[in-house]
Amino acid sequence: MLYKKEGFPEESEVVLCTVLNVFHNTVFTVLDEYDRKGVIHISEISPGRIRNIRDFVVEGKKVLCKVLRLDTERGHIDLSLRRVTESQKRDKNAQLKMEQKAEKILELACKDAKIDIKQTYYKIKGIVFSKYSTLYSCFEDIVAGNFSVSELKIGPDFERSLDALIKSKIIPPQVEIRGSLKMESYEPDGIELIREALKRGKADDISIVYLGAGKFNVVVKAEDFKTAESRLKRSMDAITDYMESHKSKAEFARDEA
């Protein structure tokens, strides 16, 4: 990866490391994102007694570690392998995969334009990382319309190509709310009333699927929870208001998280 951070990591930060040397009770690593060296004491490798440290780490292996202590004056970084939780591993791995994806998109654009990926990356690095923590988060904002590729100042032809690639490869993040809708009508034209109510609550971003016995599965998707809540309320209000105005009933219940 080309992704590098300036300075030192923060205490408790989870970092990707490459094992350099393994000794009897100490492991020396390089922090891939910072190009700085760190140390893992055997007590921070794994809980419990360790008979052979090489059962856990070997030279060249990539490991996720938590930063325990920093001595910036001396350049010392103490790390822990055992204190990284499973959820932290998942989150960090997901972040790294997204950053690799962003770099791959940039690489494809550079290949098409026949320009050097490293030179291009370091040319835009200052602009990107003055506003974003990762290249991927910058690309997400391009997809969302909050940032323009032209701000990277890499030439109009290349900018158009990169913009098209980003928007074809990155799907905007979405949240969803699920629930169930129960509808009842004892009116002579009850089935038509339900159909009409569903039409009034219909929207491109809301799925309402019949389950049987007057019950429907409801799913609303949006770019954030506030928007999803607003769309859901608008749809369900349209349905319940119509049903109530025709002496019928509709009740929506949100699924438990």
Mean pLDDT of 81-100: 94
The SS3 call for residue 240 is helix
What domains appear along the chain, each with residue ranges and CATH number? 14-83 (2.40.50.140), 87-169 (1.10.150.190), 175-254 (3.30.70.1130)
Q: Quick: pLDDT tens for 104-134.
A: 999 999 999 999 999 999 999 999 999 999 9
Tokens at 257, concatenated: 């998280």
Q: Quick: pLDDT tens for 169-228.
A: 998 778 889 999 999 999 999 999 999 999 999 987 899 999 989 999 999 988 888 889
Q: Which residues contact 184 (CB under 8 A, 6 or more apart)?
A: 214, 248, 249, 250
197: burial class by Cβ within 10 Å (0-12, 13-18, 19+)?
buried
pTM: 0.68
What is the 8-class DSSP label of residue 75?
T
74: burial class by Cβ within 10 Å (0-12, 13-18, 19+)?
exposed
Q: What is each CA distance from 12 to 33, 80, 133, 208, 210, in whole angstroms?
A: 15, 9, 17, 44, 48
**Alpha helices in the chain, H assignment, sequence order:** 86-113, 117-129, 135-144, 156-169, 190-201, 225-244
Q: Is the pLDDT of residue 17 over 80?
A: yes
pLDDT at 6: 86
Binning the chain into helix, strand and coil, the percentages to the nearest 5 are 40, 25, 30
